[in-house]
Amino acid sequence: MSKNIRGAEAVMQSLIAEGVTTIFGYPGGAIMPIYDALYDFKDSINHILVRHEQGAIHAAQGFARTSKKAGVVFATSGPGATNLITGLADAMIDSTPVVCITGQVASHLLGTDAFQETDVIGISMPVTKWNIQVTNADEIASAIAKAFYIAKSGRPGPVLVDITKDAQFGMTEFLYKKCKEIRSYFPKPTLNHFAIEKAAQLINTAKKPYILVGQGVILSSAEKEFLDFSEKSGIPVASTLLGLGAFPTNHPQYVGYLGMHGNYAPNVLTNECDVLIAVGMRFDDRVTGDVSRYARQAKVIHLDIDSSEFNKIIKAEICIHADAKEGLRELTSLVLKKEHRLWRNEFKILENEEYDKIIKDAIEPSDDHLRMAEVVRMLSDKTQGKATIVSDVGQHQMITSRYYEFQRTKANITSGGLGTMGFALPAAIGAKLGDPSQTVVAIIGDGGFQMTIQELGTILQFKIDIKIMILNNNFLGMVRQWQQLYFDKRYSFTEIVNPNFTKIAEGYEISALKINQRNELRAAIETMLKHPKAFLLEVIVEKEENVFPMVETGASVSEIRLN
């Protein structure tokens, strides 16, 4: 039954119809009518007042990644809307469903350079899956319905709905109808059985097959189907950065983490396999290294829901345009039961070499300096690999990916494709709200922490129980490592003087502890994890520690450096 309501209330009723229970936002003039309408929905919608709009969208990303729902953001026009752009770009490249609703100046002022007017549609177009400007209250419900459908269907992504102030005030006959299809938009491909059969034949005759698992498996909830496929085929499995957690790291077929700072064996043996099966990943340059020397000997099978990824970077012998769950289910029924023990043993040999030359000293150092790796491995042990880990960007991110032993899906939340410093703190807030049952630990460098440090205020106001671990080396560590290796140790503006983080945390009523000795580490991590509320642990680590192995820019993955 329809009724006449204001456009602002139509926004709220539309969100209720979509099952929205959490919104991250910051009010302002152009979105004030929507915030006024929100006042009447306080009992059914939890609005989280962030301290910066970038914090809102990163929090929405964390929420989406743990809840499997779309994150929702409110922001005002002008600077409010432009502050979302970094998060939109991050969500776009990492396929995260986010619905941003921005206020806009009245429609008669569009294009006049009115106060806090920006062309948010033009600015956000390259970093959204879809965007629209609504100038009439009658268009609000259908625009929001379409926004949720596009954000969550197919390959997920961010969308933005910009609503003028007069549309928010205007009256409309409200009747909400969920969007189920859009002409010329086909988010779920029809399974190509012939391609599946060809792929199965190739896999069944392979001597050295190799599987690369990406985030697409997690996004399509295909973890069980992927496990069934890998176990039946007996093929070794390596993970991309965002694929971590899709496959248990303690599984006997798991051979490690791919990429520039990934494990030795999965990188080197990429150039030894005869069939390479890529599932839900996009052959990012951090994975491939020099494309002209990447897996040239292998026949590539690429399974992905987004056909634009096919042959974009790596030419595939067989492209399977499919949802991972459906494609893997059928592929599993056609592959033969095998073990590939000799081939998997080749990974084991190189794994042992990496352990002896890098890992052993990283997690059990012989000197007095705390290492990032030993901190992360102890956290992994104490949480049994089951915590939700939200990492920022830099050396600590690579260390976390290497040394945290993920045993659970949707537990690795990080900025992959864009590499956004400042991501972790607000994303951890969203991750906890998206799945309150899990322990959430944000692992952050001293540089990235200060980019969104104001979100400690959000933790204070809403009493959000997250654990914050700062790995402090008083450097912008990853840039410093490159300066050491390639710029003759000319440390140009990478050394950073930091404030007293524990005192800042205490100012926000967050309990905090700072340590710099190995004999303090175990008790400190236990204290952090057992604390009933938010807790900040600052760990002073080796100042000039480097992350190895490393595939240098322009190098082949098989040329990965161990030191």
* Catalytic positions: 53, 115-116, 165, 478
Give all strands of the β-sheet with 535-540 in edge-to-edge order. 412-414, 388-391, 440-445, 467-472, 535-540, 511-515
| φ, ψ dihedrals at 502, nearest 5° | -70, -35
Q: Is 467 helix (H, G, I), strand (E, B) or coil?
A: strand
At 201, which amino acid appears? Answer: Q
First to last CA, the chain: 68
At 293, which amino acid appears? Answer: R
Would you state the structure tokens that stand for residue 408, as one six-digit string?
């659970």
User: 4 and 171 in contact (C-beta within 8 Å)?
Assistant: yes
Any idea which residue has 């671990």 for tokens? 469
Q: Is 543 helix (H, G, I), strand (E, B) or coil?
A: coil
CA distance 457 to 444: 17
CA atoms within 13 A on the CB side of 158: 26
Counting Cβ atoms within 10 Å, is residue 176 exposed (0-12), middle (13-18) or buried (19+)? middle
Which residue from 441, 389, 425 is spatially nearest to 56, judged by alpha carbons? 425
Strands 158-164 and 171-174, by their bridges, are unpaired
